[in-house]
Structures are given as structure tokens and as C-alpha cells.
Amino acid sequence: MTRTLQKLIHVGCRELGIDAETRRDLQLVATGKASMSDMTEAELQKVVEALKARGFHPERSGGFARPVSPRADIRFIHVLWRQLALAGALKVTGRKGLNAFIRARFEKKWGAVPLDVDALRDPAQINDVTRALKDWCARVGVKLT
């Protein structure tokens, strides 16, 4: 946990544009210690809180998370896939597994498959995927409300 907090402090400083010298000054003010290696977890948490007070938002993903699809039918495909994952029916969960499923299941039928599920635009293809996932949910006993 200590190393995780140290990384979080470095991320916060990078996002806020704080250099190493200023970071050490901030640590000294927050905990009385300039070096993170000398700090306890509680002291490291105080530094994180000091960064939050200056505008750091650690719950943000730094731009790596994909935005939610604006299309309800595509979001429903993701919901079905997540339900199958929660039921333990999947070997590979997440977007990678979903894209592999679509490629394996529909590549021959469609001729070409988009690289990512969110790129699906043809209503017939979206319906094919939705129907296949609903059928799978029914086979493994996932209740859809």
C-alpha cells in the first residue's frame, strides 16, 4: 500500500505540474518529512490529501478509460457481457473478450467484423450480437430484468 500511495503522489504532482523540489516542500509542510521513504502510510495519505486540496482528483482515470457509448443498443451489449462475466460464464472478460467473441462468432457470417464492438453501426449486426448474448444468458441461467 505504501508504494501505491507513493505512485499516487507522483501522479498527482505530475497532473498539477508540481516539480520534485516543490513536492518535497509540500511533503515537509504536510508531514514534517521531506522524503517519502521515511513516511508511514498515514503520512503518505496526508500528502495525498494535501494534493487533493490543491485540485488533484485521483478517481479520474487520466484519459485511459473509454467513454460510454452514446448508443443504448451498444451499451446493452456491454451489460449483457458484464452479466455473463459476473455469472462466471466467460474465460476472457472485458472489452477484449467481447471483441474476440464477436470475431469468432460472426466473422464468417458478416465477412468483416469491426475491431471494436463500439464501431458496430448496422442494426442487423447489433441485433445478431444482442440475440446471441441473450441466448447465452438464458443457457447459463442469468436473469435479465
As for how many domains the chain has, the answer is: 2
Mean pLDDT calculated for residue range 51-57: 88
* Pair 77, 135 in one domain: yes
* Residue 97 belongs to a domain: yes
Q: Residue 116 is which amino acid?
A: D
* Residue 26 belongs to a domain: yes
pTM confidence score: 0.56
The owner of cell 508511514 is 40
* Pair 45, 97 in one domain: no
Q: Residue 97 is which amino acid?
A: G
C-alpha 123/C-alpha 127 separation (Å) is 6
Say how many C-beta atoms besides its own lie within 10 A of residue 46's C-beta.
18
* Pair 34, 76 in one domain: no
108-142 pLDDT, tens per residue?
A: 999 998 888 999 999 999 999 999 999 999 999 99
Task: Please report which confidence band the pLDDT of residue 66 belongs to, taking 50, 70 and 90 as the band edges.
Answer: low
Domain hosting residue 127, numbered range: 72-140
* Pair 32, 78 in one domain: no
> How confident is the prediction for the chain on average, in pLDDT?
89
